[in-house]
Amino acid sequence: MSSLTIVYISLSGNTHSFVTRLSDYLNANYGLSPRLINIKDLRHETFSLSEPFVAVLPTYLEGGNGLDNGDQEILTTPLGDFIAAHNNYQHCFGIIGSGNRNFNNQFCLTAKQYAKRFGFPVLDEFELRGTSRDIERIAEKILQTLDAFTG
Ligand SMILES: Cc1cc2nc3c(=O)[nH]c(=O)nc-3n(C[C@H](O)[C@H](O)[C@H](O)COP(=O)(O)O)c2cc1C
């Protein structure tokens, strides 16, 4: 099995909790120890990644309704900058969006916008910290997509 890197950003801790529990699940069930990169810790530093990675992105938007008027990404742009830098996007095999369903049409919208911008698929979505069922489902999806990506 290939190695796995998970690149994410977490401002209030929900995504960090999800990624840590996902990593524990992958370790317990598949013997994988993913490399975890929290973009918040990098303080806008970027570096080149040469291994396949999956991105996990919470949604922080200001304004707009997610349909026909402008919305502004706030707080999470350092993840987009990291993916764009050094052509890192070429090694990204998919993105997982997170958010809160109270935001209706804007639920997980930024992950969809990144998928369009960089040309990788949205693999799945979850709400807040995610449930254990989210973790199991998303772990399987990540492994299947990683396998297909690395051939
Ligand atoms: C100012 C603000 C704006 C948000 N905007 C959205 C949004 O547009 N769509 C959405 O699905 N969730 C939205 N959320 C919910 C967050 O994406 C959600 O709480 C997420 O779990 C935060 O992840 P984190 O704790 O890892 O930072 C917003 C939260 C805040 C505080």
**What span, in angstroms and rounded, lies between the C-alpha atoms of 15 and 107?**
15
User: What per-residue confidence (pLDDT) applies to 68?
Assistant: 58
Residue nearest to atom 29 of ligand 1 (CA): 60
Q: What's the gap in Å between 82 CA and the centre of ligand 1?
A: 20
**What span, in angstroms and rounded, lies between the C-alpha atoms of 111 and 56?**
8
Domains of the chain (ranges; CATH) run: 5-150 (3.40.50.360)
Q: 11 vs 3, 17, 75, 117, CA distance in Å?
A: 26, 11, 8, 22
Residues lining ligand 1, Cβ inside 6 A:
10-16, 58-61, 98-100, 103, 106-109, 128
Q: What's the gap in Å between 25 CA and the centre of ligand 1?
A: 24
pLDDT digits (tens), the chain, 151 positions = 568 999 999 999 999 999 999 999 999 999 999 999 999 999 999 999 999 999 999 999 988 665 656 679 999 999 999 999 999 999 999 999 999 999 999 999 999 999 999 999 999 999 999 999 999 999 999 999 999 999 8
Q: 78 vs 8, 18, 27, 37, 100, CA distance in Å?
A: 10, 19, 28, 12, 21
